[in-house]
Each structure stands twice: as C-alpha cells, then as structure tokens.
Structure 1
C-alpha cells in the first residue's frame, strides 16, 4: 500500500482539502488523510469559484445498509447524469495544488464536474470523490440543486470503458466548513461508493465563501455497457 497526499484547505478552491492514502488498485483510503481533505472544502462564491458541500451517510445509515460485493475495475468517468435535478455534465480531472489542496473545477464552465483522479474511480471499490460548483460569479452552476436529492435518487456515471455505473443516494447532508466530518466523508470504504460535493449554507460576503458544504453519499447498485 502506498500513501499519497490528499487535498488540503485552499481559500481559492471549491473543494475540501486533506492528504489521503491510496491503496494499490483500490483508490484513495481517506481515513488517514481525512481531516485534510475535509479542509479542502469547495469554495463557492460570486467573486471566486463555486463551493462544494460534503454529503455522506450517517453512521446509522451506513450500519443498516448491507455491504455490496458489486464493484468495477478502474476506469475514468466521462459524464454525470442526474435526471431528477437536470444534471447532464462532462467530467474534468481534479488534482492537488502545491500546498496539498484539491483544485476546484474551472469556474468558467458552469456545467462541469470534477473527479479527484488520484482517488477511487466511480464504480471501483472505495469512495469516489466528485465535486461541482453550486454557482459562480456568472450565475447558477451544475450542482445548484444537489441538496434537494433524497435517499433513493439515482445517479448515473458513464465511464471511459463504456460502462454506465448507477448509484443510489443514501443520504444528503450539510456540514459547516468549520466542523467538517472528514472521517465520514473521505474514509475508505469496502464497497463502491460515491461522494458528490458542493457548497452550501449561507454566503459570507466578507470571506467571499459559503459557510458549509453539501455532501451526497451514494453506493453502486448496477452497471451496464453502453
């Protein structure tokens, strides 16, 4: 097992930050570097870039959902589709900045989501991290309605290998950026899970940032070839 740095907090970024270890062939194990990634909260503002909020399972919900053996081999995502909130967006790859922060998706394109490429791929065992802006200085963005999703909502990700991975939302929660639960959001998982993150809460005009992050937690339920 090797260890890689995870995202760390960056006021110019839209995502939570922290350093995270990655297990060979399984994606990131966020447990060790969880608190760092949690700091990399996506910063969303009218003056900078959109913010992302972390959503995740509650301890109780995780405990009551059976662990699934369903998992796919590693393949990068190409497109995210969430019909319930009219999301149909291409992916860009997200990397870490020089100080360890997770760089946010470009704010110029409001219909774009980012995947942390050094973490688990969507459908692969582990928690795949996908972030998007709730808005930018030009207007509403791709994850504007993320917080309206409910348990049971479905998310589809088309991958480069021609497989469409379907995930079911387990929970959506809003967390203060000052007390972000990194271990709940970024910890490694035994099955294929997904985290959709954007900004939320109120907008602090002085800090030019949102006060919270919205995180949607989901797990893989099926897959099919295009």
Structure 2
C-alpha cells in the first residue's frame, strides 16, 4: 500500500548560504532563473541556468536525493508531456523544452526547501507589495498542505484496513475506493478550516489593521552581491538571446 510522504517539498533546516539569503532575493533570483531558461534558445545557452542550478544545489547543503523525491511527480508529468510533444515538434526541440521545464521545477523546489513558509510569504508581501489578505490566504494554504497530507495518510490506512485500498483492484474499483477517502478528507478539511477561523476570531485578527514584525527583512552585503550576480547573468542571457 502506497503512503504519501508528507515531507516531500517541505522546508529542510540547514546552516547554508542559500538558507541565509533574504527571501526577497530568493524570489527575485528565481524569476531571473526562469527568464534565463525561457531565453535559452539552444542547449548551449541552457548551460548557464544549469550551472546556476548546480551551484544552488551545492550551496543549499540539501541532499540531491531529497530534491529528486520532491520532483518525482512533476518528472512523470514532464516526461508524458515530452512524449506527446514529440508528435508535433522535432526531438531536439522537445528535449530542450523538457530540460527547461525541469530546471525551472528544480529551482522552485530549492526555494521551497530552503525557505520557511513564513519567510516565503513575507518575501512575497514585502518584495511584491502583496496585500495582507492574500498573504494570509497563501500562508494558510501552504500550512494546510502537509496537514492534509497527514490526514489523508491516516484515512487511507484506516480505509485499507476495512478493505478499501485504492492501490489494488481494477480501475473502477480504485475510483470507487477513492470516494471513501475523498469524502472524509473533505469533511476534516472543513472542520479544520472552521477551527482556524474560530481561533483567528478569538485572537481578534483583522487583516485591515497594520501588523508589526519582531524581525524585519533586511538585505546584507551577501544578499546584494548574489542578486547583482543573478541580474548580470540575466543581462548576459538577454543579450545572447537577442544577438544569437
């Protein structure tokens, strides 16, 4: 019986250079990396974002296998898309697109694994001027994901003990058994949302009020140097995209 790993894609605490970066710098750098992947018209230009990816993996001090486990689902989707893409474009073009998307996905996983949910949302709020309501909604959504994954595990184990295992039987049987998991999970989700709403009301939370912070986000020299390097790479890629 398959058990969903709730640790996939979650923050991993390390004392690394990437972990210590300002979340705004990480978000800006991610956008720059994605743009570089888009501007890579051939495999030669794709070397630059690939080297940046390898450096980020090394500087994050997170095991590569941990990243690969988190990318397992998206890898399957990308490979299927690659096979379908072969029907309409040449092999090299399909492979180039596959590598671009994989590098983008890998960079996103690095961001999630090296940045806490709180810092990630603070970076979005301060770096992009996100409103308090949207920031709170995204924070709750990100916090809920591992919680719901854990709840789904418990429901799946309980239903499998009763004979409703979604990993066994015919396709129709699996669909039928999935209902026995989806309905209880939906009910638990509603209950948890109601409890959270009550807790926020008790604490007199009001998104319209100005919220203070104990530790404010501040960029140091390392953040600025890293961001300048990423911008320089982006300018280089843009120039090569235009000239080549």
Larger proportion of strand: 1
Q: Which one has the largest radius of gyration?
A: 2
Q: TM-score, normalised by structure 2?
A: 0.22
Q: Which has the higher contact order (CA 8 A, sep 6+)?
A: 2
TM-score (norm 1): 0.23
